[in-house]
Amino acid sequence: MRAIVRAALCCLGLMWFSSASAQTPVLSDNADSIAVVIGNKEYRRTSTVDFAHNDAEAIKAYLTGTLGFREQNVFLVKDATLGELTQMFGSEANPTGSQLWRSAVAGRSNVFVYYSGHGVPDLGSRQPFLLPHDGNPNVVESGYALQTLYRNLELVRQKIGTQRQLIVMIDACFTGETGRIGESLLAVSAPGFTPAKPRAGDGIVKLVATSGTTPANWDQSQKLGLFTSRFLMGAAGLARPAGAPESGPLAWSDLQRYLKDSVEAAARRDSGREQAPEIDLASIALPMAQPVPAVARAVALARDEANWQRAKATGERSALESYIARCGEICRYRDQAMALLMDKVRGAAAARDQLNWQKLSADGQYAEYLKSCEAICAYRAIAQSYLGPARTADQTKADNPAAKALPPQAAMRPTIPRRLITRGFNGRDYVEGRFERVGPNLWEEKNSQTGKVTARFRVVRQSETELVLHDPSRKFLMRFDLLEKTSAWQLENQTQWNALYDIVATD
């Protein structure tokens, strides 16, 4: 029975996902959904709303790119006149004579209405109005009443049915102020004015940029309205709580919380003004997709910041490595993460060196300590002092009678090793290489964790100071400088050696 109900609901256009508490409809399957998007930037009788056109284009991109609205079903109007607003939404006298009413399909259309532009109040009735391109902020009759919009949308809501959603988003304020600090739309000053809040039907989900007492601000960095920019950033995934799964739909309650918190914080930080958005509760969720181009960089910056703060807070090597590995084109803290990671690596090496010294020095095995030193060899001078001047150059040779027969200058050189260990960074990964001589002219490279052979080399030349190996299968050479303790590689057809990793141990 449950499967039948689920199938029926999907046919009605709602997709569902399971949670512990309830099943929440996801705003998807929008092939027949309708949107009206208004961006009023230019005004004949008052100041511009600088980013209203950007707002409208970004919202359209979200509707078509993320929610799946068809291009032809999104009515985008820039600098809408009173006549165009009436054509789109209907009038008080003819509420069903609108483009929106005619386009909405019963039982199949979700509806999304968006407005960015000036809002103005009637100081007498306290009723708020949308200001058309040709409107006068001081003449009530030239505006489109918000109450009329809500009443007409309630009829559209009844037409599409209870299984569908009608969402209204308004990035405007109705206090008579503008996005510019100290600028008023009204000829008469009205400090502290609070417009009335028109009632909307229970089935309409409203998102309004600000409460009645505070202005709506701009996001100068994104060239968008602040409310619009944070809506798009939150819907791209920034509203998802820390630690929550990165896949799956976004809960409306998470978007609601993010919008309120981020808009209020950004308004105080960037303009020194309050802005308290109002978002209705809703039992819906939003599908996830890549951010729209208008906020893509801002989302990437915010994610990079959040990832870095989490990695830095834990301070663990795995967290730092994860940050470096996952950050993409935007990776502002890469150098800091690398520095901390190297501190971790050096700290671990120093700890191993200290344990090694404590173990070997207790038995007087100073030569063994010197032979086993890695990149960190803090007790080298002490070990050499205990051994004395005649035994400090090379402990293996100092204890080898054959080495004593060599000339003094030769005795100072390292012998040809049987094994080499190299360490260093390969891009973002810290890697270790282990090389072992398995025959007079044969060497093998082994995986440091599994011990499996990963490559085989033939000796090209070798001496007390240099070892050059050739991998015929991969057509490249490796060179180990036994004096400088470095390695390099070169393709067969090249003459330039490329620096690789440091040699940290030989035997």
The most confident of 134-138, 393-397, 424-428, by mean pLDDT: 134-138
pLDDT tens-place string over residues 286-337: 999 899 999 999 999 999 999 999 999 988 888 988 888 888 889 999 999 9
Residue among 502, 453, 494, 501 at smallest CA distance from 476: 494
What percentage of the chain exceeds 90 in pLDDT? 47
Question: What is the layout of strands, in order, in the sheet containing 128-130?
Answer: 119-121, 128-130, 144-145
The one-letter code for the residue type at 176 is G
Which pLDDT score is estimated for 389? 56
Which pLDDT score is estimated for 200? 64
Which pLDDT score is estimated for 404? 42
Q: Is pLDDT above 70 for 16?
A: no
Distance CA 145, CA 122 (A): 10
Q: Cα 28 from chain centroid?
A: 23
Q: Is 76 left (phi over 0), alpha (psi -120 to 50) or beta?
A: beta
The pLDDT of 54-67, averaged and rounded, is: 97
The pLDDT of 97-102, averaged and rounded, is: 96
Cα-trace Rg, the chain? 35
Q: Which of 82-96, 391-405, 413-427 has the lowest mean pLDDT?
A: 391-405
Distance CA 47, CA 180 (A): 10
Q: Is pLDDT above 80 for 124?
A: no
Distance CA 372, CA 387 (A): 15
Q: What is the mean pLDDT of the chain?
A: 83
Q: Which overall architecture, per CATH, does domain 2-292 show?
A: 3-Layer(aba) Sandwich (3.40)
Residue among 319, 278, 327 at smallest CA distance from 302: 327
